[in-house]
């Protein structure tokens, strides 16, 4: 009897601790993501894979959970969207087809090449942000000519493809692209990233990825709670602390995401 009770308690503790572990990972990774404008997949996706969830199901679960991150961050900073609704429409109209395309080609393109490309880009973004002290600290209004508009839309489409196939780093790319293209500050750019990428891109990507396999509902519920609370808390901290903290967090997360992706890529080359 005592033996059976020990087994039952052991199983219960394992399940309970696993749930707590996933929640904490989700909460803290999405808190930092809410401050930096991306990078939740740095911790959340590997945690799901280590928990025994297959890659494609883990990716779909992560994307559904980051919809909650987008909602949490947008609820706290929705006023920062201001008069940028036309930019949001551009990101959705030209980015969503890329997300859908990426979710289909992920089965046919080796992950190691995607990890390598995005890892290099993420590290480049970190150094670029570090070497540009004033980048994203103040907000302006940049008037675009036709060439700049076309370049922005092409880049949004390409980032959408990466978003549909890889989890980590695409929010960071959109954030820095908005800052460079429209002279947004970090808070304004991150609010736009949450609204477009966090909610709409990730939801559409999750729907198309879910066709590969069912999403584990028990884990998904924990992820959604952790993502929403982490997103809201992180957005609250970013609004209190301002663009300097956001910029530092963005630079740090970009380096960590880039290194993580490069390590994944190198490991996959030697399998």
d(CA 214, CA 94): 28
pLDDT band at 238 (very low <50, low <70, confident <90, very high): confident
**Cβ partners under 8 Å of residue 95, min gap 6:** 156, 157, 159, 160, 163, 196, 197, 201
C-alpha distances (whole Å) from 220 to each of 22, 26, 57 are 10, 11, 10
pLDDT band at 6 (very low <50, low <70, confident <90, very high): very low
Query: Which is higher by pLDDT, 193 or 246?
Result: 193
pLDDT band at 31 (very low <50, low <70, confident <90, very high): confident
In angstroms, the first-to-last Cα distance of the chain is: 46
- What integer is the mean pLDDT of 45-61? 72
* % pLDDT > 70, the chain: 75
Give the range of the structural domain holding residue 95, as residue numbers without chain letter.
Answer: 2-269
**Cβ partners under 8 Å of residue 71, min gap 6:** 198, 199, 228, 231
Count of domains forming the chain: 1
Residues 196-229 have pLDDT tens digits of 988 899 888 878 776 665 666 777 888 888 888 8
pLDDT of residue 11: 46
Query: Which is higher by pLDDT, 135 or 253?
Result: 253
Whole-prediction pTM value? 0.76
SS3 letters for 87-155? HHHHHHHHHHHHHHHHHHHCCCCCHHHHHHHHHHHHHHHHHHHHHCCCCCCCCCCCCCCHHHHHHHHHH
Query: In this model, does residue 271 exceed pLDDT 80?
Result: no
pLDDT of residue 135: 65
Residues 81-121 have pLDDT tens digits of 767 788 999 999 999 999 989 888 776 766 667 777 777 87
Q: Which residue in this structure is represented by tokens 């008069």? A: 83
pLDDT of residue 3: 38
Mean pLDDT for the chain overall: 77
């Amino acid at each position: 009897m005592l033996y059976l009770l020990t087994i039952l308690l052991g199983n219960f503790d394992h399940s309970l601790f696993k749930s707590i572990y996933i929640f904490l990972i989700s909460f803290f990774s999405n808190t930092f993501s809410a401050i930096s404008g991306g990078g939740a997949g740095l911790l959340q996706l590997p945690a799901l894979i280590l928990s025994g969830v297959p890659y494609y199901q883990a990716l779909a679960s992560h994307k559904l959970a980051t919809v909650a991150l987008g909602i949490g961050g947008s609820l706290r900073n929705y006023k920062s969207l201001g008069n940028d609704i036309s930019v949001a429409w551009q990101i959705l109209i030209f980015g969503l087809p890329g997300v859908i395309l990426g979710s289909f080609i992920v089965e046919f393109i080796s992950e190691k090449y995607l990890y390598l490309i995005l890892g290099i880009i993420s590290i480049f973004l970190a150094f670029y942000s570090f070497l540009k002290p004033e980048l994203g600290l103040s907000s302006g209004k940049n008037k675009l000519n036709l060439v700049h508009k076309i370049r922005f839309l092409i880049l949004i489409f390409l980032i959408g493809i990466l978003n549909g196939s890889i989890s980590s780093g695409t929010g960071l790319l959109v954030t820095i692209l908005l800052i460079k293209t429209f002279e947004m500050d970090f808070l304004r750019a991150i609010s736009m990233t949450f609204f477009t990428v966090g909610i709409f891109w990730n939801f559409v990507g999750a729907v198309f990825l879910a066709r590969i396999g069912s999403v584990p509902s028990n884990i998904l519920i924990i992820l959604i709670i952790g993502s929403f609370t982490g997103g809201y808390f992180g957005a609250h901290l970013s609004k209190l602390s301002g663009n300097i903290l956001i910029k530092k967090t963005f630079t740090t997360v970009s380096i960590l995401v880039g290194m993580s992706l490069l390590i994944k890529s190198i490991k996959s080359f030697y399998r």
